[in-house]
Structure 1
Amino acid sequence: MKDKMTISTLQLAMLICTFLAISSQASLPMALAGSAKQDAWFSYFIPILYGCGAGMFFYKLAHKFPGLNMYEITNSVCGKFVGGLLNALFILYFIVDLSAQTRLFSDFFSSSILLRTPPELIIMMITLLIIYYSSGTMEHLARTNVIFILSYSIILLFLPIILLNEIDLNKLEPVLSSGFIPPLKSSILAAAAFGDVLAIGAFLHHVKGPRDIYMAMKLGVMVSSFLLTVWNFCLISVVSPVFVSRLIFTGWILVQQIHVTDFLDRVDLMVFSLFMPLILIKHAVLFIAILTGLASYTKKGRNFGNLMVGLLIMLFSIAAFDNTNEVIMFNNYGMIPLTLLVHIVFFGCLSVGISISKWTGRTKTSPGVNIGLFGGLARAMLVGCGASIAFGAYFGSKLGWYGTVSAGLFIMFLLLCMYFTFRQYGETILNKG
């Protein structure tokens, strides 16, 4: 995949934010609230650890194999036969993921916005738009994404203020009174939803340096987790954990509660005018990752066969699921074993292959990431987030105000972690300049 397209650190971070935050707002809160009840908004601590770990792994791959993407690195480390099998597994995983998400959001649109439009027609239109977007370049897609995701993120950040009259903090209590298990279950579900971030590995060759990849992954994961924490906090405190755990597309109800003035009470139209393009951008990125993997076999370029692959995804989205409940259960729970399998195979095989190569002297050891002062402070604040959850889970069942204190500490540490992560990003940009 030798091309001259480049994606900046900020563009890749915002692309990761779209990849992780947007698709997790539709049906995932239902599963999180069902597992952790009022503590569902604590679910994104473990996903942060997973995302930063994946970023470190991509950093090491990019340092050892500069200018190559994930598929080419797999072939280089594991050989053509084993590497070809691994790449086929990745492509199949991305096809299943894209098909399930296409069906999920087609059902969402048909049940909330386009009420009289058949889901099959919506799936066809989404597929055609994905095929059209994929005919362009990743650079153009990343630039377009920055505009939409920044606008959408601003709206999400102001949600607690906009919904101030609707928020009832009593719905969040008792905080962490059920112990460690419920937040742990919901964190596993949230981490599994972050699993398709592996598709970013198909674009490692578009980023200038390994440190840029790590910083983009860390920043994107932190912003995504923070936005999703705010989103779930508003859902639980406005709609209540009982309704969130029983309703399918609770986010639609939440956005409909926004009434800025009597003249601006349909804010949901503006929100979903930003939401829909971001969904299409994520689907297009997954689609391009599939085409990039197929190009590692055909050697005929990324756009070869995109129409046939699009038709395959469209047919699979229509035929694989009978109703909305099936696709929601698959997205929330069925993807967990598949994601776990792909991750074990991916990280395991590449780690073994790189270790063997290092033992035979064919590769050099990559240096550690120079995290700097702000990176170290961000890690310390992340430890504080984990300690806050542990403190509340252990003592919250004994005295209720312990859980309330731990929730306040968690919010404080998470905000500080976001601040120091942005300072680390700014320090990285200055050092490059």
Structure 2
Amino acid sequence: MVNRSDIHYFGAGPAPLPTAVLENAAQVLLNYRDKGLGLCEISHRSPEANEILTNTKQALITLLDIPDDYDVLFLQSGGTGEFSATVYNLVSIWVEKQRAKIAAEVGDDEAEVLKRLRSVVDDELRLDYLVTGSWSLKASQEATRLVGAKHVNVALDARKSNDGKFGRIPAEDEWTLTPRARGGPAFVYFCDNETVDGVEFPAFPKSLEGDDAPLVCADMSSNFISRKVDVRKYAVIFGGAQKNIGSTGIAIVIMRKSLLPPTSKSASPDLLRALNLPVGPIVLDYPTISKNNSLYNTLPIFDVWVAGQVMDRLVNNYGAKKIGGQEEVSNEKARLIYETLDKYSDLYRVVPDKTARSRMNICFRVHGGDAEREKAFLAGAEKKGLLGLKGHRSVGGIRASNYNAVSLEGAKLLVSYLEEYAKAA
């Protein structure tokens, strides 16, 4: 029988969880707080469920120093669902702002308001996407599906400067963001860490800062709670939970309260339809989710509990350092692995450019990408209990996902195998 302690799992998601959390989860699944009911069986509107929700929110707020003027939402959409939700919600807010401006000029003439609004939407509605990998590409494609190619500005396609492949983030002066002089985009989207391609933004883009900065939406699914984040620079941050935070089943959204009623209003469904713009499903409507404390529909409280347990451990482990403590560990694990890969660069080739290497998803090829030799490399790793190293099916190769639950010991064991394999090759 293989023991859990004998295995070090580097899979990209669903990802490993702390053993102590899983042991507690096994207990609460059967009997939560001596109620004779498991956690999956209690009402999502019960006091116990609300307490779990509150505690999980607070743990995230503590770790990331989330300001009071931001809200934390839990949805069942996964990161992919948020590709759509961000478009539905932020476009609707943009349209309502334009409608209000026009109405202030022309008064109660609804036909004239609609006429001018159609022209503004047609000429000025733009969503900017920074495409640096497979997931930001999918997000831009979903935006195009929803609002049409005319309204989607791919301000950066990193493949164009990298021989048709993802692997670097070009300098910001090469990006073609919608000019702010024209009112700017409804929002700018980027994926902070590309799980498939091993690319991570080293820092927040300077061109998106400033008093007149556009709304910024960032997908942080695979590097959530792995490093410090200046939340105030973002309008919306979202991520699926199944990488660093918890089990598959929920997405977490951090958003400015100023984008929610009563401060901000969304366009009515009738208006959006009149403009040939999509009306989003109610379960992805941020105002509705916020108003109902994420309980508009049945929230999977067990998944929220798991996420809260994971984050509580980080709060307790790192104290005043908060997420900075985990960042130090994440950086050290990544440093050890990359240094070893670079040491044997004649054998191992790191895929992304050094300026954009992900700390979370370390992608490399062995023997120049020879398929049979890479199979042998993976087989040797499995014999040593190093699992989940196969690259994504779309790109192949090797991928070591260095999520929070991967221990420093596990990273060192991977380094030892890299050394051993290189010396025997």
TM range (shorter): under 0.3
- TM-score under structure 2 length normalisation: 0.25
Select the structure with the greater relative contact order (CA < 8 A; seq sep ≥ 6): 1
More helix by percentage: 1
Structure richer in strand, relative to its length: 2
